[in-house]
Amino acid sequence: MTVAETPFVSEKPSHAADLPGFEGSEKRVELDFYPSRCATYTRGLRHFTREQLDELMTLAQCEIVSHTPGQTFDAYVLSESSLFVYAHTLVIKTCGTTKLLGCVERLLEFANALQMSLRRVKYTRASYKYPEVQPFPHQSFEQEIQYLDEHFSTVLRSKGSAYVLGNSQDGLQWHVYVADAEKEGSTDANNARVTVEICMTGLSQVSVEPFWHKNNGGNAVWATKASGIRDLLAKSKIDDFAFEPCGYSMNGLEGDAFNTIHITPEDGFSYASLELCGYQNLDIPQIVNGCAKVFNPQHLAVAVSTDLVSVDGPGFATDGLPAPADMLSSGCTYQTLGPGGATLFCTYNAQLQTSAAAPMSALLIPSTSDLALAIETPAISEQSILHQTSSSISISSETDTPTSKKPRTAESTLQSELLLCKLQSYQKESVAC
């Protein structure tokens, strides 16, 4: 069952108060450990106490707002994104100006107390929209790489490999750091972990209306259904959370796999992300198309990664993925990873003929998953990055900056009294049910 936490109202960090918008692009770290050398700790990392997890999240500058236990892992909705704890794997992703990597040193200490040694670490993120306000060590990819090497190279007995995928002129770029004590990824197709991360910017104004508190009244279940997310992830056990005055997060559990969505609805820097991890035989093009239908983004990027040494099969063709409906491909990059595995990164842009505003008739039925056809254009800026990895792989590319995610201030620019009336009416009906 979902365990409700103390009511939580999220606010922007004080050092980000002067930003024109919220930084939606998530930082994500995934750590794999060997089983404990002590028979007492059969549940591995799931032996971490709530107090220990709270301490880690405080170091990362966020906090837990909801918890859903599963059979093989625990899922936590955070004030900024999500946390997933398996017996031997821990995944944390945070947005905004959080200090994600600030918790890794203490995390390793907690794991060591359980007699568990680190086997592999992987860090990924898209481009930042506001890199200049990120806290240390997240002010540049070079800085993040140096910090990761300093904290993991001794434990894993080697430095990691780092990559920047994509072209800044095509939209977002994808940053990857990976280090593995075994020097090569999984060779067992049955145990290989596939992760799909989708980032969307310039969301349809109508599609994000359910994620404003003035429309959902804090009813996250209603927002999940009205937006089309419930239909998109029909088999998932969902733990959802609606923020005030706007913003939305959810975790979905399906057996050993999880999915998670995070949304910033504010006009001008709207952002949504969907991650799916641990699924077998996932129809990736279908999922990407579903996201495009729900959010109707101006720009969409998808990163598909695996720790399998030899990558083959549906959904992971090295030459890319088909473009979603009404979108055009702007480029794909396939990269094998030094310690084993690979990442495929593709970007897409909405076709120019898409209408820039939704007709009023499209605003009358907010309960459907087909909510809108309104497009906004986010601001884009660029910066350069050059990094030389320990294995002499040199990456020189332009780093684009994306739009953002879970904002806490400002009002929606769409003020249709008719739309609000319909939303409120639907909400009352949903609550009554």
**Catalytic residue annotation:** 23, 26, 81, 95, 249, 262
d(CA 168, CA 399): 5
d(CA 304, CA 29): 15
Dihedral, CA of residue 116, residue 38, residue 58 and residue 264, to nearest 10: 60
d(CA 276, CA 232): 12
Dihedral, CA of residue 96, residue 197, residue 93 and residue 71, to nearest 10: 150
Tokens 């601001």 correspond to what residue?
379
Contact between residue 257 and residue 398 where contact means Cβ atoms under 8 Å apart:
no
Report CA 318 to chain centroid distance, whole Å. Answer: 23
E strands in 45-157: 64-69, 73-78, 81-86, 89-94, 118-126
Nearest partner of 345 among 318, 327, 384, judged by Cα = 318
Contact between residue 371 and residue 204 where contact means Cβ atoms under 8 Å apart:
yes
Please state at what angle helix 50-59 crosses helix 104-113, rounded to 10 degrees.
Answer: 160
Residue 312: how many other CB atoms lie within 10 Å: 9
* Amino acid letter, 31: L
For Cα atoms 58, 59, 65, give the angle at the middle one, nearest 5 degrees.
Answer: 30
Please state at what angle helix 417-432 crosses helix 220-227, rounded to 10 degrees.
Answer: 110
Which residues contact residue 34 at a Cβ distance below 8 angstroms, ignoring those fewer than 6 apart?
A: 88, 116, 117, 118, 119
Report CA 257 to chain centroid distance, whole Å. Answer: 15
d(CA 277, CA 89): 12
d(CA 215, CA 433): 18
For Cα atoms 175, 91, 8, give the angle at the middle one, nearest 5 degrees.
Answer: 105
d(CA 248, CA 192): 30
